[in-house]
Amino acid sequence: MMPWRARPAAGLVGEAPVPGDKSISHRALMLGASAIGTTTISGLLEAADVLATARAMRQLGASVERLATPAGITWRVQGRGVGGLDEPASVLDMGNSGTGARLVLGLLASHPFLAIVCGDASLSARPMRRVIEPLSRIGAQFWARRGDRLPLAMTGASDPLPIEYRLPVASAQVKSAILLAAVNAPGVTTVIEPEPTRDHSERMLRHFGAKVEVETLADGGRAVRLEGYPELCGRPITVPGDPSSAAFPVVAALTVPGSQLRIANVGFNPLRTGLYQTLREMGADITAAERGDGGEEPVADLVVRAGPLHGVTVPAERAPSMIDEYPILAVAAAHARGRTRMLGLGELKVKESNRLAAIAAGLTACGVRVDVGDDWLEVEGAAGPPPGGGIVATHYDHRIAMAFLVLGLGAREAVTIDDGEAIATSFPEFIPLMRGLGAGIEAVGTDGDGGETSG
C-alpha cells in the first residue's frame, strides 16, 4: 500500500490533458478483434484495466500491437471476424475491470468453447449474475463461485439464440454484453432499457458495419435492436478524453480558489454529461466548446474557473449518465453552500467498492456532515473549504482515491488516502498531471519525488 496526501493548494492553472475514454477503449479492442481486417486505435487508454482487455484479445487469437508513429502512439488490431475467436489456452485475467470482465463474457457467450475468467480481489467480489442471466438465455453455460462471482468457467453457445431482454436496472455493461453476444447470433436481438444508458456500443457497432436500431419508448426507456451476423470490418477509431477522468481536475478547478483550467478533447456524449449538467446547476463556471461529432463520439473543449457552488437535488433518473462521477460530485458538494441530495445511488454499492459507504465514510473522516440511505446520499456543504484532515480508506477504488485527493486540495487541512495504487487502473498520470498544475500531492513518508524524508 502507498498512502498519499493532498495539501491545500493555491490556484490550479494550465492545460489538463486527460487519458482516453476507458469505456470506448475496451469496446474498440473487442470489436477490432471481432472484425475482418485492421482496426487502428489512437488515444487508447493505456491503463491497467484496458491493458487487461488487450491481453485477453491476444489470448483469443487477435493480433494486438502498440506502435510508435510520428503522429503518436497507435494501437493496431488484426481481427478474426465475427465468431472467429480462438479458445484461450489459459485463464483470462481481467484485473480490476468490471467493464472488461462483463463485456468479455458477452463476447464469448456465442463462441462454442471453454473459457475461464478471473480478476483481482476487488473484481472477484463483484456480482456477475446480471450478465450471466441474459447470456444463459442466449445459450451460454456458466459455472461460477457462490453468489455468481469470479473466477468462473463458461462455455459459449453452439447455436446461439436471439433474445428480447428487458434490463431490470439501467446498465450499459449488461446491455453491451448482450449486444456483443448477439453479433454472432441469428436474427434480431432486442435489449430494452428502463432509462437510456451510455451508447458507446451502439455507436461503435454501427461504425464497424453492424445494423443497430434504437427506439425511444413511451415510458422514456429505449429498445435497442441488433441484427445478427453482420460483416464487421476494421475501422480507424479515435478515442476522446474520458469525461469521468476529466471530472477530477474539473472539480479541483472549481473548488480551489484562483483556479482556471482548460481540458481539451473531452468526450461529450450526451449520455455521459450528467455531472457537468449537475455542476452547472450548482453554479459552476464551466464553458464547453463542442467540436462536433466526428462520426463516432461528440467531443468538447472545457474551460473551468473556480467559484462558489450551492447545493441541489440530483434526481435518480440522472444516475445512468453519471454513475461513475458521484464520488467527485460529493467532493464538490462538500464545498457548496447548503445541502446536496443525490438519489438513485443503489448501483454504487456494487462498483469497485461499496462506493456509497466509502464516500460517506471518507467525508465523515474529513469533518463533512452526511446522511446516507440505501440508495441516497445527502451532503451538508461548508459554503467554502471543508475541514479536511482525515485519513480515508480507498478500498482499492481508483475513483475514491482520486476524489479524496481532490478534496484535500481545497480543504482547510490536508487529506490522506491509505492507498493510491488503484489510480493506475484508469488514470496513471493523475498525480503527475495534478502536480504540474500546482497541486500539493505527495507520497506519505517521502519527499514527494520518491525519496525518503529526513528527520
- For the question of residue 324 being annotated catalytic, the response is yes
CA–centroid distance for 453 within its chain: 35
CB 207 within 8 A of CB 238: no
Cell numbers 455521459 label which residue? 272
For residue 90, the number of C-alpha atoms closer than 13 Å in the C-beta half-sphere is 7
* CA atoms of 449 and 371, how far apart (whole Å): 38
Catalytic residue selected from 49, 199, 242, 324? 324
- What value, to the nearest 5°, has the Cα angle with vertex 425 and ends 419 and 430? 70
Task: Tell me the three cell numbers of residue 438.
Answer: 500546482
C-alpha count within 13 angstroms, C-beta hemisphere, residue 219: 7
Q: What secondary structure letter does DSSP report for 297?
A: -
Pick from 12, 64, 22, 65: nearest CA to 43: 22
What element of type H or E holds 14?
strand 13-15
5 φ/ψ angles, rounded to the nearest 5 degrees? -130, 135
Closest C-alpha among 133, 63, 65 to residue 102: 133
Give the Cα separation of 381 and 38 in Å (integer): 51
User: Would you call the peptide bond into 151 cis, given omega within 30 degrees of 0 as the criterion?
Assistant: yes
Q: Give the span between the Cα atoms of 366 and 388, in whole angstroms.
A: 4
* Alpha-helix runs per DSSP H in 183-308: 200-208, 243-255, 274-281
Which of the residues are catalytic?
Answer: 324
